[in-house]
Amino acid sequence: KKLAEQITIMVHGEEALQTAISASQLLFGKGTTEMLQSMDEATILSVFEGVERYDVPMDVLKSGVQVADLLTSNAPVFPSKGELKRNIAGLQINKGKIDAPEAIINDTFLLQGKYLLVQKGKKNYFLLIAE
């Protein structure tokens, strides 16, 4: 194993190493929706510590909401619907590509029944928390 991995295991344990590996895969492009769905709440919060967060009412997600409304009105990931439309090609929710501003997001998308991970472009992540 690489020296950094050996040190991480010695200092923090195997579980911390796996969390670090998952975090780097998610943040640097090799993560998958399945990987996200398999994470427990503590790991999600640990991996995305420091990521900008927005609270979203659970009722909005239970009834379903268009991506454009969710990411402009409920969580200001984009300053306007026009900006979202111009950047739709780089938009992902839970590592799944979003092709249309009219796409409906509902509570079935929630990770651990509470979280949505929004990726805007290659490096901008946001964690939406359903309350």
Phi and psi torsions of 77, nearest 5°: -70, -35
pLDDT tens per residue, the chain (131 residues)? 565 554 444 555 666 666 666 666 666 556 666 777 777 888 888 888 889 999 999 999 999 999 999 999 999 999 999 999 999 999 999 989 999 999 999 999 999 999 999 999 988 999 999 99
Tell me the C-alpha distance between 81 and 75, whole Å: 12
User: Does the predicted model carry a pTM greater than 0.85?
Assistant: no
Tell me the C-alpha distance between 23 and 87, whole Å: 25
Q: What is the dihedral of CA 84, 55, 36, 49, to 10 degrees?
A: 100
Tell me the C-alpha distance between 131 and 59, whole Å: 9
